[in-house]
Amino acid sequence: MKADWRCIDTGAQTGALNMALDESLVAGVEAGGASVLRFYGWDPPAISLGYSQSADGELDVDACRAVGVDIVRRPTGGRAVLHWQELTYSAIFAASRESFGARIEQTYGVIGECLVAGLRRFGADVELERAHVRSPRPRRGTAALPCFSSIARSEVKWRGRKLVGSAQRRFAGVVLQHGSIVIGPAHERLVDCLRLDEARRAQWREHLRTDSTNLQECVGGPVERSALVECMIAGFSDVLGRPLAADQVHPDEWSDSRARASFWDVEARSVKAVN
């Protein structure tokens, strides 16, 4: 069977380059290229904001700088995510692919099944939550409740707690869904970077601890990244019923991404606007 997916592991990159590379890969699928399943990490750690979120309204930028966390904007929507001790995935494919369904909820469901299959291979007894439950957003002028404290659409859970946070955007005929498979507890430090008073900070820290989990906790030990990636690829292949061919980012994709990286860097764009 001929592989019609490119499977790429780009390792750890800066947040801005990660987002620009997702953008470049979307353009390739728009141009008729093969679908893409990509895995990556973040170096240094970064907070990604949903496309319409405001850094000034959500984040304490000085606190982010103090702990060495970059700030980037995602091409997808959703809430703030701290990418630290995690494996990130991107699935990029034509919206017309019948195996994913025509509606957003169907696509979330199919990709959720892929994630569950891969994580179960790794030894995590996870399940797919199809309910739609969202925590209320605070009033304007305060930060939104973090992504990993809410459950929406088809989310991967372990013992009722969220393990994978995902977001999706549909371009001209192409779907980009990406998300964070949390490996360790560092994502809980997001609340230290949000614009909150101490009482609300403590409240939201408790939300994250009770509503989310991490893979180390799920499997009861350390997580080997390469083994996790292999299991996730196998999970996608099993559910989709097709092989995923190992591939690399093409030189023109790298060059396009590096040229566009500053667009996704929130602080770089702010400095450019001031100057």
Report the catalytic residues.
Answer: 147
> Strand, helix or coil at 155?
strand
Residue 210 burial class via C-beta count within 10 angstroms: exposed 0-12, middle 13-18, buried 19 and up: exposed
| Cα–Cα distance for residue pair 67/99, rounded to 1 Å | 42
Task: Tally Cβ neighbours within 10 Å of residue 231.
Answer: 18
Residues paired with residue 6 on neighbouring β-strands, in sequence order: 36, 245
- Reported as half-sphere exposure (CB side, CA atoms, 13 A), residue 200 has a value of 12
Phi, psi of 33 (to 5 degrees): -75, 175
Tokens for 122, please give them.
């790794």
Residue type, 49: L
DSSP summary character for residue 192:
G
